[in-house]
Structure 1
Amino acid sequence: MSSTTPKGLTIRPRQLDAALPSPMPRHWHGGDAFKTHLFNAMSVLFPDGERFFIESVRHFRGQIEDPLLQEQVRGFIGQEGQHSREHLRYSERLRELGYDIDYLERGLQRRLGFVQKHLPAELQLAATCAVEHLTAIMADALLKDPQWLAGADPQMARLWRWHALEETEHKAVAFDVFTQTSGNLWLLRRAMLQSTFFFTVDTLKGLTHMLKRDGLLWNWRVWRDGLSWLWGKNGIYRKLIKGYCDFYRNGFHPWQHDNLYLVERYREEFDSRANAA
């Protein structure tokens, strides 16, 4: 297993070459409100979150001596900036459907503002490493397991595959920057515990808000089927536990989860279209 980022890996931003559906189907994930709003709730977090990630990595750019990592940092910043812009468009579609996206964004914006103003840059970078690992293991599962997007609107599924591909490509960039500039494992693990808590709370907040607006918050079948999809015998989140726990191991590196074959597979989908355009 590799303990470093593959040397030949190139990281470059792509524009999503398909517009989001307008209007967006209210329950675009196969008519299932729970599945739809789980993805929607995560999407709302991305614009502010990814701007935070960019700034946390950019702060240490001058300390990086490895030219390959410098190049990968440029690709990381470009990809995360593109994700932020695309998910802002996504949020506009959700506003058009009547969801209070400003309400959902305010808490995250206040917390990130506090972190950037009062907490050390090293801790901010550690938090970025933690959330990048959460997104990386979800991206890996989404690209491997059809259960994640089965029955979804094709345009929405394409957006999530595009995002998952690029999250996989750059999954170790923040980690490599942290390793070269700090390497404080205690700080990294603390950041993961905190990030896991806040990611769960923020996602649940978005999910419950949207279900409430749909009049489905107290529909027990929605929650029964949704929680079974997440945590049941073959639940999509249940399968993430081992990959999540690996982060806490001594000597862990994100590319020990070697899924470069997924990068190559999905590059064929997205890069071939870009070259043909």
Structure 2
Amino acid sequence: MSQPTDLHIRPRRLASGLPDPLPRHWHGGNAFKSHLFNAMSVLFPDGERFFIDSVRLFREQVTDEALKEQIRGFIGQEGHHSREHLEYSQRLRELGYDIDAIERRLKRRLAFVQRHLPDRLQLAATCAVEHLTAIMANALLSNPDWMEGADPRLARLWRWHALEETEHKAVAFDLYMQVSGSPWLRRRAMLQSTIFFTWDTTRGLIHFLRRDGLLWNWGVWRDGLSWLWGRRGIFRPLVRDYLDFYRRDFHPWQHDNRALMVRYQEEFAGEVLGRG
């Protein structure tokens, strides 16, 4: 399976800005939920620049015009995500959180990866994290209750990001299959990426809760972990989709959610930019 031939990947400029100031606990007054999303957001600007760089390493090897066009769209969308989440990070700084400390750890690691690890492994890592974001994006768009009670402007930002992650979820993968295709390298990259993504997100969450004086609040952790992994936890249904990535014959569009994608494209139709 490959990218749907009728899929046009175009970046959007989000029309509605972030609230200023940002509500400290914007997700229905819930610190854990707010800060889980905040912790992921802080990782995105540097992470998405890394994704763009890893794709650019191989872009000149692409001869297929459709894939070239999809790569242009991918780079355009990820560039807009990075800029929007940089503004998000600035709003968090203004609330007193040490965003620079969180960013420094990720910047150092990505700089090491780009200096010392093979180009194909960097692209494989991009495929892996794109899968993580794609399955979370699908769940967020499929389950509006993920954002129940959230500030409407933040909820809209996350829907916008989720939609575009869905649209371009197979671009890095298709490029990787053209230049390498090694399932072993892909699986290795996923294991490493899962560990680091979980570690970085958890450290960010801990930082935010500590600054709020809630780090040792048992009720915050009990309710938060139940929301993630309890009987109706939002992450539990993602496990099967996550594990699919390790199959030799996996392709992102085997998780075919085009109907869901089209529904949300209508919400953001007025914000599509020109050629990516």
Smaller-chain TM-score bracket:
over 0.9
State the alpha-carbon separation in 2 of the partners of residues 229 and 213 from structure 1: 22
Structure-to-structure mapping, 1:57-72, within 5 angstroms: 57-72=55-70
Structure-to-structure mapping, 1:1-40, within 5 angstroms: 3-40=1-38
Q: Which amino acid aligns with 2:174?
A: D
Matched-pair contact (CA < 8 Å) for 2:11–2:272: no
Structure-to-structure mapping, 1:1-277, within 5 angstroms: 3-272=1-270
Q: What residue ranges of structure 1 are gaps of 5+ in the alignment?
A: none
Q: CA deviation at 1:274?
A: 5.8
Q: Which amino acid aligns with 2:263?
A: R
* Number of residue pairs the alignment of both structures matches: 273
CA RMSD of aligned residues (A): 0.9
State the alpha-carbon separation in 2 of the partners of residues 52 and 43 from structure 1: 15
State the alpha-carbon separation in 1 of the partners of residues 54 and 159 from structure 2: 25
Q: Which amino acid aligns with 1:65?
A: T
Matched-pair contact (CA < 8 Å) for 2:229–2:236: yes
Q: Which amino acid aligns with 1:167?
A: E
Q: Please give the per-residue CA displacement for 1:124-144, whole angstroms capped at 9, x wherever unaligned.
A: 000000000000000000000
Query: TM-score, normalised on structure 2?
Result: 0.98
Q: Which 4+ runs in 1 deviate beyond 2 A?
A: 272-275
**Matched position secondary structure for 1:238:** coil
State the alpha-carbon separation in 2 of the partners of residues 25 and 95 from structure 1: 12
State the alpha-carbon separation in 1 of the partners of residues 15 and 62 from structure 2: 33
Q: Please give the per-residue CA displacement for 1:209-246, whole angstroms capped at 9, x wherever unaligned.
A: 00000000000000000000000011011110000000
Q: What residue ranges of structure 2 are gaps of 5+ in the alignment?
A: none
Query: TM-score, normalised on structure 1?
Result: 0.97
